[in-house]
Structure 1
Amino acid sequence: MDPLVHIHKLAVAVGVLVVVSVLGACSAPAEAGGGPCDLVDAATVTDLAGREIGAPREAVVGTVPVCQWHDGDVTVQVSQVAAAEWVVALPAIVEQIRQGDVMDEAALARVEKAAKLVESGKVDPAAACDMFSLLLELSGEEPGADRTVTLIPNAQAPRAISGQSCVDGVHSSVLLAAPGLSADSPKISTVDVALNELTAAGV
């Protein structure tokens, strides 16, 4: 596997939006008021799914509260949390990178330094978003990138489209898992628009 592809997959995994996590999360009917299911409106969910979809259900993926809409083979998932809450997964991801032996020593040292900061419990919101940007940079994005939209697990056989951002100390994510996705799917733009709206609402 191309090392950059592997690292990019790990960067997405930190956002706890891998398709396996979506399908395995424990969920419960959404409660009204203030939860993750209030992050987007029904029209946005319909645009993402391509049709009206089932009632929202709250779930926890890793330690992050998310909202999921599921109907047959289509799943929409959104989340928005403080970046310092999102970044607690970084040490485990660093261990995956180390075992995969796909990163040069200089890059690995940068990521390990970030992971040690997380373990110290001294991560402020800005530093957490810097760590998000670091992972994106190591996956091939421009330095300082604060958002990404990517196909999971790859562009050749995508099962989902993941959009993530980390802006002003807030991590936002949108996921669409559906059949028939491709590298030129119009749903990539739909996820991108939904991510922009979610990000703007969180800052």
Structure 2
Amino acid sequence: SINSGDAIVLFGQNGSGKTTLFKTILRIIPPLQGNIIYNSDPPQRFGYVPQSQSLDEIYPFTALDIVLMGTFGQIKPFSFTPAKSRILAKQCLMDVGMLESKRKLFSELSGGQKQRVLIARALATNPNILLLDEPVAGIDVDAVRMIMDIITMLHEKHRLTVMMITHEFSTIPAWVNKKIHIRNNEVVVENAE
């Protein structure tokens, strides 16, 4: 079970089902077997940072445009982006240290900068659960440190429940209270002492 405020790391071999589990939690795909029961009032709001940072470069999205996408669930269909959504998006960019890059094209950002913008987009959904699928894969050591500091701050400041998939065991923060290892179709849960 996942409790409010938990910090969970999910790890296992490629193809073991970690991303599939995230997509099932997010209701993107149905469970292959069993059930996921959501016992929460108010209902869970998810922020999701996908494994892939790529967006088609034919669309000249800025960092701010990407973060505004996170607010679309709060906007009525066929309406303009309200000022409060722009304010929220800028605050989310500030939370991840990317406000000064709001007008830069997403395609021109470094891997670490893109990851910070995607975290800001997830924050713009106003989540109480943040799911990060390999948030530090393929970025340099300094960017890894910065991303992990941001995730730590979000967990502590915003009291977010954090679930993170990683292969980088050296990046698992001390505040993680649950480690879930998927191995040979078995799930092994290790709770912090």
State TM-score, norm by structure 1.
Answer: 0.29
Q: Which has the higher contact order (CA 8 A, sep 6+)?
A: 2
Counting helix residues as a fraction of each chain, which structure ranks higher?
A: 1
State TM-score, norm by structure 2.
Answer: 0.30
